[in-house]
Amino acid sequence: MSLEVLKGNLMAMDERIMNVRPHVDQKNTAANIRRILAESKIVEEYKNHRVQDALSLRCIPQLHGAVKKGLKDSLKTIEVELNSAVDNPLLFSEGDDGVALMGCNADGAYVGIAADIIAIAMTNLMKMSERRIDRLVNRHVSELPPFLNISPGLNNGLMIPQYSAAGIVGEMRLYCHPATIDNVSTCANQEDYVSMGYNAALKAYECVYLAKYILAIELLFACQAQDFYKDLKSSPATKKVHDLIREKVPFIENDQNTHPYIEFIAKLVKNGKIINTVEDQIGKLDF
């Protein structure tokens, strides 16, 4: 939606570009965007508007693809861990009796490193989202009303939610220092190395929790921006998402508390309703 309302160029999503750097998640991301923006009169009208877009638009397949790969790799690791024996000692049958083997399957490095990757991946995704949010309210690059404000003068438009997104990204960055590189010896130096996997998992949880609010703000802004294109139709897929959000979130004409709207959209993100709405329109997306 941001790419569409910021007059983005689909040239950067060309399949030929993806084929010469054949990361599957990059290629799938570009294909998803082409399908989502199919039949957009806005895209068609502005297809030669710029030679190339800013990186927060042009690099969506590359960064989003890298993030998806990081999350998929981490998920595989966590699934193995969830189906593993991680006690110490471990008891095995041996003849008529058994044997207790001392080892260290209890070590949390696998989950910890996977969780550190999740935190880094999610924060990278959100730093790009926040830059698109900023572009949407910056008239010098959006070519839309300043702060998407239809009633200037005594109104700030959507200035403040962008502050919130910037602040949340700042908080997420604090969670991105890898926990697993830290070490404190315990157990009278018997445990002279520890994985710090638990701390990494907590950080990953916090990053995923916060991310939905940045995405909600981007969707709030993109819907507001789409409504300024009165003479050009958006794509059927983005229009469906727009209409879903408009069930509870009005076009904002005067300054008001946007927190309930952000919470509503964040819930749609969390429960998968945004993706389901798109897939109802264009079919299954490639993830």
Backbone Cα Rg of the chain: 23
> Which pair of structure tokens corresponds to residue 263?
């919470």
Closest CA to 104 of 169, 186, 194, 24: 194
pLDDT-above-90 percentage for the chain: 96
With respect to residue 190, please indicate whether it lies within any of the assigned structural domains.
Answer: yes
Domain total for the chain? 1
pLDDT band at residue 60 using 50, 70 and 90 as cut-offs: very high
Q: How far is C-alpha 195 from the chain's CA centre? A: 27
At 190 the pLDDT is: 85
| φ/ψ (deg, to 5) at 104 | -145, 40
Q: pTM score, two decimals?
A: 0.94
With respect to residue 67, please indicate whether it lies within any of the assigned structural domains.
Answer: no
With respect to residue 216, please indicate whether it lies within any of the assigned structural domains.
Answer: yes
At 153 the pLDDT is: 86
Residue range 95-124: average pLDDT?
A: 96
Q: Is 141 exposed, middle or buried (0-12, 13-18, 19+ CB in 10 A)?
A: middle
pLDDT band at residue 181 using 50, 70 and 90 as cut-offs: very high
Is a pLDDT exceeding 90 seen at residue 191?
Answer: no
d(CA 274, CA 266): 10
With respect to residue 113, please indicate whether it lies within any of the assigned structural domains.
Answer: yes
With respect to residue 3, please indicate whether it lies within any of the assigned structural domains.
Answer: no
Q: Please answer whether residues 169 and 127 qualify as being in contact, where contact means their C-beta atoms are separated by less than 8 angstroms.
A: yes
At 34 the pLDDT is: 98
Residue with the larger pLDDT of the pair 276 and 153: 276
With respect to residue 73, please indicate whether it lies within any of the assigned structural domains.
Answer: no
pLDDT tens, residue by residue, 124-144: 999 999 999 999 999 999 999
Q: Which CATH number do you get for residue 246?
A: 1.20.200.10
With respect to residue 116, please indicate whether it lies within any of the assigned structural domains.
Answer: yes
Q: Give the residue numbers spanning the domain of 104.
A: 86-282
pLDDT-above-70 percentage for the chain: 100
pLDDT tens, residue by residue, 233-276: 999 999 999 999 999 999 999 999 999 999 999 999 999 999 99
At 112 the pLDDT is: 97
d(CA 119, CA 127): 12
pLDDT band at residue 114 using 50, 70 and 90 as cut-offs: very high
Q: Please answer whether residues 266 and 230 qualify as being in contact, where contact means their C-beta atoms are separated by less than 8 angstroms.
A: no
With respect to residue 110, please indicate whether it lies within any of the assigned structural domains.
Answer: yes
